[in-house]
Structure 1
């Protein structure tokens, strides 16, 4: 092979290598673009993740509020149960008190009836009736 042929062959190989390098440059550029896109997507995912974190925090706050409300309802329920129990005791106590008072009134009425009968016998039954008519 002559120098000229070797030279032409080397130029041809060099040209092929340059084309190959050009292709690699394009591929590298594409990889850089893809990497940039992934970077953008990663940034978006970070923003979305932060938003989900914020939402999760809000749900935790809402859950805590529901827990507080449930605790308050339980306290109110217990207080209502206590009030019902007290009302039931008062009702039972009042019924017993009312029955005792009615028995006392009945006893007093019976005693007054006996006293009136006794006194009317002493004064006279007709005198008692005349006195009652005069008073009314």
Structure 2
């Protein structure tokens, strides 16, 4: 009976050692995942900031183009009016 108890205790000690080793590996993987998540968050924020700056530059560039288009539309309207007057005369 003592041998059975001793064998069970040895198995328990081996299992405890394996569980401690497994716990250490789980903590290591958890730390690595947390660092990866932090890195991905930084990349996402940077990409968002870059996108916003690009969109702001596009807005500035297109607003001046819109003013040009409005001006040209007025000029075309004036010329159409002059041609219409010449054709009626």
TM over 0.5: same fold?
yes
RCO comparison, higher one (Cα < 8 Å, 6+) = 1
Match of 1:97 among 54, 73, 78: 54
Between structure 1 and structure 2, the one with the greater Rg is: 1
Paired positions, count: 83
Name the SS of the counterpart of 2:23 in structure 1. helix
Residue 20 of structure 2, aligned match among 53, 63, 71: 63
Unmatched 5+ stretches in structure 1: 1-42, 128-136
TM-superposed deviation, 1:58: 0.5
Aligned to 2:9: 52
* 1:120 paired residue among 73, 77, 80: 77
Counterparts of 1:22-33 in structure 2, within 5 Å, are none
Shift, 1:47, TM fit: 4.3
* Moved segments of 4+, more than 4 Å: none
CA shift for structure 1 position 123: 2.4
Report the Cα distance in structure 2 between the residues aligned to 1:73 and 1:111, rounded to whole angstroms: 57
1:5-84 → structure 2 map (5 Å cutoff): 44=2, 47-84=4-41
Say what the alpha-carbon RMSD is for the aligned residues.
2.1
Q: TM-score, normalised by structure 2?
A: 0.76
2:46 & 2:10 partners in 1: Cα distance?
A: 53
1:109 aligns with 2:66: yes
